[in-house]
Amino acid sequence: MKLLNRLFVALTVGGLATILVPAGAQAARLAFDAAGNLFVPHGDSVLKLTADGTKSTFATGLYPLGLCFDDKGNLFVSDGSAIAPRSRRSILKFTSDGKRSTFVTGISSVGMAFDRSGNLFVSQGDSIFKFTPKRVKSTFVTSKKANFIDLACDGANNLFVVNQGWPVSIVKITPDGTKSTFASALSSPGGLAVDSAGDLFVAEQGSILKFSSDGTRSTFASGLDLYGMAFDRAGNLFAAGWESTSIFKFTPDGTPSTFASDLVSPDKQWEYRCADGVWPEIVKAGTTQAVLEPSRELDVNRAEEAKVVWAPDSKRFAFNYTKPSAHHSFYHSTALYQLRDDKWVRLRSPVDESSERLQVAQLAKEDLPKSAYSEDADWFQDILNVRKWTDANTAILYADAAWADGSHHREATFLFTMKFDPEGNWKIVKTHQMSKKELEEEQ
């Protein structure tokens, strides 16, 4: 079997018969619409990927935890951080054209699934709630010591639930609410997906496990760290990875491939790799031919945590990385690169890398107290990274700092809009200091 990249080392795949997935058989954290488009939570947005992997932003300005479609083609999104007050959590409804409304407030979860009758089931701690199409809420199941997470529904309206409480297991709940333990002896089960044959697929500790309808267990794939899965109508299994928002595709015969990945440039010509978690490099996609090794010119610490953010035209990228610092502090920075004559060259840094001043203080000196840019400032957090490219020539630079000023602690968080010319020269055209309210909403 062809190795795709380092994530597929030790990958083993079992055979699958050709299957067709009925509408509504959805996993909670990834979801397909009737046209075969895949919807994926990503940061503060929901992304839409067409069948050829073309990516676009379907919705933004939310904290998507779980996704599922009803039989009318409406996308339901569980919105809200687990640490946010319940009053700020909600389940949103999006029509196919992106029109947004609130389906219900005060609840959100990674676990959501529709049955064939159009009822929505949502997990929340030790309970599973049922919402009719008219939004009538009832408690479907509750269980002491349970911690219900992901949900999936089969064609017979049986509900499968990850219980990460005690004992850790997969629970099966029939339409009348009868509970039974479907699978046990699991470490940390995550995402679920059900095929049209009624077989259940479970993401578990770097593997995908397959359970037949009678509970017989086998390993479908290993060597992957996943958080969500879903089947398309042709019986292909799609699984999203924790580390890099990569989405992997398994055909019905078990052949794996990378469907989409932030590691690969949008034009699919370049790929970011970090061999053995030590050597970050840009290679020609599909090969091991390195064309750039950032660590040769940057002091990269914890290389496995570094991240590449590609510009949409694949001609530029930002390399966000961690620099060595004292044990009590955090020092993150960014380097900018541009493609010139098929060669990647480094652009001018946003800050003076030899300076001991906070990075945000160098960029927003007029907006901060003098203690922020004093050589004597006792800083313990200094973060600078490119969050995203709004277009091929515009990047959003994020800077966050915390430092001690005498007996006081100070904090400052800024967003800078950077504009690039064709040669790669840039200037900051907008500076925005994030308010406490914005930071609270982000958290």
The CB density around residue 404, as the number of other CB atoms within 10 Å, is: 13
Distance CA 235, CA 230 (A): 10
Average pLDDT over residues 336-355: 95
More confident call, 400 vs 20: 400
pLDDT, tens digit, 9 for 90 and up, residues 136-152: 999 999 998 999 999 99
- Whether 12 has a pLDDT exceeding 50, the answer reads no
pLDDT score for 223: 76
Q: Higher confidence at residue 369 or residue 91?
A: 91
Number of C-beta neighbours around residue 101 at 10 A: 9
Q: What's the pLDDT score for residue 78?
A: 92
C-alpha distances (whole Å) from 107 to each of 13, 72, 410 are: 37, 22, 34
Provide the pLDDT for residue 328: 79
Specify the pLDDT at position 56: 85
| Alpha carbons 399 and 416: distance in angstroms, whole number | 8
User: Which residues lie closer than 8 Å to 262 by C-beta, 6 or more apart?
Assistant: 244, 245, 246, 307, 308, 309, 310
pLDDT at 189 over 60: yes
- pLDDT confidence bin for 57, thresholds 50/70/90: confident
pLDDT value at 177 more than 90 = yes
190-218: average pLDDT: 91
Q: Residues 221-234: what's their mean pLDDT?
A: 85
Distances in whole angstroms, Cα of residue 119 to Cα of each of 66, 140, 388: 16, 11, 37
* Residue 13 φ/ψ, nearest 5 degrees: -130, 135
Across all residues in the chain, what is the average pLDDT? 86
Taking only the tens place, the pLDDT of each residue in 270-285 is 999 887 778 999 999 8
Question: What confidence score (pLDDT) does residue 4 get?
Answer: 33
Position 137, amino acid: K
- pLDDT for position 42: 80
pLDDT at 441: 65
pLDDT tens sequence across 116-129: 999 999 999 999 99
3-state secondary structure of 192: strand
Distance CA 357, CA 265 (A): 33
Q: How confident is the model at residue 242 (pLDDT cuts 50, 70, 90)?
A: low
Can you tell me which residue has the tokens 């609130």? 102
- DSSP H or E stretch at residue 441: helix 436-442
d(CA 167, CA 165): 6
Q: pLDDT tens digits for 348-401?
A: 999 998 888 899 999 998 889 888 888 777 888 999 999 999 999 999 999 999
Q: Which of 188, 158, 150, 183 is nearest to 169 (CA)?
A: 183
Locate 3 and state its tokens. Answer: 């190795």
pLDDT at 373: 84
Query: Which pair of tokens denotes residue 17?
Result: 């018969």
Q: Three-state SS for 281?
A: strand
- Indicate whether 269 pLDDT > 90: yes
Mean pLDDT confidence for 185-208: 90
Q: Is the pTM of this model over 0.75?
A: no
